[in-house]
A and B are shown apart, each in its own frame.
Chain A
Amino acid sequence: MKLFKSFVLALMMVLIGSLLAFSQSTPQAFTGATIIPISGEPINNGVLIVQDGEIVAVGDADTDIPGNADLHDVSGKVLMPGLVDTHSHVGEGDGGDYSSSLHPDVRIMDTIDPRSKEFRKVVSGGITSVNIMPGSGLLMSGQTVYVKPKPADTIEEMLIVVDEETGVYGGLKMANGTNPLRSNGSPGTRAKSAAMVRELFIDAQEYQQKIEAADGDPSEMPERDLRMETLVEVLEGKRIVHNHTHRHDDILTAIRLAEEFGYRLVLQHVSEAHKVADEIAESGAHASIIAIDSPGGKLEAINMININGRELEDAGVNVAFHTDDPIVDSRFLLRSAALGVRNGMSRKAALESVTIAGARMMDIEDRVGSLEEGKDADFIILSGEPLSVYTHVEQTWIEGEKVYDRSNPEDRDYATGGYEIFRSTNMHIHGERH
């Protein structure tokens, strides 16, 4: 019976697989655009060929185009990789609760609405990979999720699995500074915050040692503990920590704890990065930063100035811009990169900061972030220069499928807004009524 089930399942898989292959096997060739592959110099009058969800070829006008390819003339346009947003709150998910400050067991994956209209807005901004995180009100608010914002009925279809063996598809959200502080003293100060995190990681180290001591013998294994299991993934380097942090001393505390336990660290926001850029570079941590139109509004972030991109680039740090949507709208991620250039970042680093640099922070740089043979066919077609205010995202493609087309009025509405466009979304800001 069991064998039969497996056989039927296998047969179905083959059938579905061949159907899928059939529907996508026609190569798609995009010609005439200026291609910015990120992995190399821009190509004028370039050719991009994609098939079965992957990039088959990127090259100049002499690139061989298969005879059966569908041709897309995109002359005069700019074609570049889909954007990577390393910090977002789209999808109407949530994370840990205030019963404690440490929730490594909580998965935001279990709460995201794959049909949220916010994903339509995300692709209208050219974003094709997103790190969706729970909030910063707790020391550990839960596991983040890396997704492709493509049309889907289930969150599983959207996941970007970074480790097939362990099935890891996200990081761990941590926070320090003032956001996680609670009036009940748990934690009430910065030092208490650090002590609580260290205690939990020491527990995780012991748990990890028990697993190692069991040496594969199920009877010797420690009891399953979801919190510990997640932290062991962090200790083993399979799951990256995304640490919300603003002030320079909090940045250094985040680095100190990461070094003590040997986990991989992406600093998130890093408002005072410009004060400790060399220390960040020295630590090897990555920096995911935000561009805000004015400083102030949040006391520990009043020294945030948009020179962070320049200072981190100069120091040699892998630096990405993020939206933190809704703080910056997903439609303005390219704008953030442009503001980086305005404040002294190189154009190359700015374009990397919204593509490959972010991919590295999510362990998905082998799949996305640049236009290279064998990578996912995630790309955007722009009306012009990527860092110009007058440029619009005209098309967004994810894994070889067009998911946004500005010439379609319904799609266009997500780029510009309008009446009841976001009617199904549940975006709460400061308890507003409407």
Chain B
Amino acid sequence: MMKLFDQNIMKIRNVLFGLITVALSAASGFLTTTDAQIAVQGETVYTVSGEAIQNGIVLINNGVIEEVGSEDEVDIPSDYERHEAAVVTPGLIDARTVVGLAGYYNQDHDQDQLETSNAVQPELRAIDAFNAREFLVNYLMEEGITTIHTGHAPGAVISGQTMIAKTSGETVEESLVDSTTTIAVTFGPSIDNNYDSPGTRAKAVAVLRQNLIEAREYADKRAAGKDQSRNLKMEALADLLDGKIRALVSAHRAHDIMTALRIQREFDFPMILEGASEAYVVLDEIKEADIPVVIHPLMTRPSGERKNVDMETPAKMKEAGIPFAFQSGYESYVPKTRVARFEAAIAAANELGFESALHALTLGAAEILGIDDRVGSIEEGKDADIVLYDGDPFEYVTHIEGVIINGEIVYDGE
């Protein structure tokens, strides 16, 4: 309910905003950068939804992709602003980050990714903490990340909610794509690092099940229209059990992943598995459960519950037919964030290959997050989120030459 409401608000906002912009433009007699008409010419244009186009052209009008094709098929109107690059891809998607909540100073005042007063807080909204102007949001944007799924960190039984934003915009309202995407749930030993209780894996699972049982009753009463006092915690969990939002479940060790699948079966909520260092041990079980995976950063340190990470896990998931996406994850120290593009590059070089890595970093991520109607590929009618490069997006020495979000050039490579 909450989510639909927020989304509708956003849609109305966007329409209003568009109308106002058009009105202003018309009034002033010139086009602002925001709704400039742009032609992007790429020696290679990776649409991701279809074959790569050699000498391709992408026309952008009023924030959306107007036309895509080869230079033989698409005429560039004379008043369109032209930009050229060796390689063009859709805007990249970081499918799990804490950027905007965990600031780059790493001081108490800018660390809002984990509230340690209580290990179960599904009512914490990401939109109430997201700082659209945080340094690292812009930093990711300049590395080609145009959409982030961000919010509360792993490390609590339930740490809070997540949201989806573009990496441009000066307020959360301007950046927002989806206000309430998932509820972040953790299985494994990291909870014990942040809370006195629960202090063991089994206790954490018991606490989670108790909360979900209460939420089931709350949801049933709500569905039956019975009177009950509002409870934010229960509202959020009831939305999860009613399938309106999903659980973003962080688990690394194979037995923690299996526990997560067991609880998901018991309560039948929609779920995305996240982290999943040992996913390669239980591929059949993940596939059987029909659950997509946002895989840990490939360059994560092989220590603690991540000691068994394998850079070839994405290739193995592809082989198994499990949908997956990349993430920057959560870093408590240095670097303060990783970059999903760099992580995808390592997967590409470790048996996954270029095309599959790019797919998982764009359209694959959009499909898992349920935003593929708007982003993830270069297709007519989608948001004009485009990245320009001077070479292979995954090569270490490649530079980003331009980033376009919602049809606006937000970074020119300088």
Contact = CB atoms under 8 A, between A and B. Distances in A.
20 contacts: A293-B335, A293-B337, A293-B338, A294-B139, A296-B103, A296-B106, A296-B335, A326-B303, A342-B396, A388-B395, A389-B349, A389-B395, A416-B311, A417-B302, A418-B280, A419-B308, A422-B308, A429-B303, A434-B253, A434-B306
A429 B350 contact: no
B397 A338 contact: yes
A433 interface: yes
A427 B303 contact: yes
Contacts of A338: 396-397
B358 to A, nearest CB: 13
B409 to A, nearest CB: 22
B104 A429 contact: no
A115 to B, nearest CB: 18
Interface in B277-317: 278, 280-281, 299, 301-312
B395 A428 contact: no
B218 interface: no
Given A296-B336, A327-B334, A432-B193, 13 more contacts: A294-B104, A294-B335, A298-B333, A329-B301, A335-B396, A338-B397, A339-B396, A341-B396, A342-B399, A417-B302, A429-B301, A430-B332, A434-B306
A301 interface: yes
Nearest to A293: B335
Contact of A418 (B136, B308, B331, B336): B308
Contacts of B171: none
Contacts of B346: 389
A390 interface: yes
Contacts of A389: 345-346, 348-349, 394-396
A347 to B, nearest CB: 9
A167 interface: no
Contact of B334 (A301, A329, A433): A301
Nearest to B134: A296
B335 A422 contact: no
A431 interface: yes
B242 interface: no
B130 to A, nearest CB: 17
B337 A294 contact: yes
Contacts of B278: 419
B339 interface: yes
Nearest to B342: A293
* Chain B interface extent, by class: 35 or more
Interface string A342-374: 100000000000000000000000000000000
B105 A299 contact: yes
A292 interface: yes
Interface in B124-154: 135-136, 139
B398 interface: yes
Nearest to B312: A416
B334 A418 contact: no
Interface string A397-434: 00000000000000000011111111000011111111
B395 A422 contact: no
Contacts of B334: 292, 296-298, 301, 327
Contacts of B304: 429, 432-434
B384 to A, nearest CB: 26
A387 interface: yes
A112 to B, nearest CB: 18
B192 interface: yes
A146 interface: no
Given A302-B104, A434-B253, A294 B302 contact: no
Contact of A297 (B106, B301, B348, B394): B106
Interface centre among A302, A329, A417, A427 (most CB of B within 10 A): A417
B228 interface: no
Interface string B177-189: 0000000000001
Contacts of A332: 299
Contacts of B192: 433
B107 interface: yes
Contacts of B307: 422, 427, 434
Contact of A390 (B107, B305, B349): B349
A415 B278 CA distance: 16
B104 A427 contact: no
A341 B395 CA distance: 11
* Chain A interface extent, by class: 35 or more
A159 B364 CA distance: 49
Interface centre among A293, A390, A434 (most CB of B within 10 A): A293
Nearest to B106: A297
A338 B342 CA distance: 13
A420 B338 CA distance: 25
Interface string A294-311: 111111011000000000
A287 B306 CA distance: 32
A326 B300 CA distance: 10
B104 A296 contact: yes
A297 B333 contact: yes
B136 A432 contact: no
A427 B335 contact: no
Contact of A341 (B280, B308, B336, B397): B397
Interface centre among B107, B302, B306, B349 (most CB of A within 10 A): B302
B396 A432 contact: no
Contacts of B136: 294, 296
Nearest to A428: B303
Nearest to A325: B301
Nearest to B399: A342
A202 to B, nearest CB: 35
A291 B281 CA distance: 32
Interface in A259-298: 292-298
Contacts of A415: 311
B333 A430 contact: yes
A328 to B, nearest CB: 8
A434 B189 contact: yes
Closest A-B pairs by Cβ, 9 of them: A296-B104, A432-B304, A338-B396, A297-B336, A296-B336, A433-B189, A297-B334, A294-B335, A417-B310
Contacts of B398: 342
Contacts of A329: 299, 301-302
Given A332-B299, A389-B395, A422-B307, A292 B335 contact: yes
B252 to A, nearest CB: 8
Contacts of A302: 104-105
Contacts of B339: 293-294
Contacts of A417: 302, 308-311
Contacts of A341: 396-397
A407 to B, nearest CB: 15
B331 A297 contact: yes
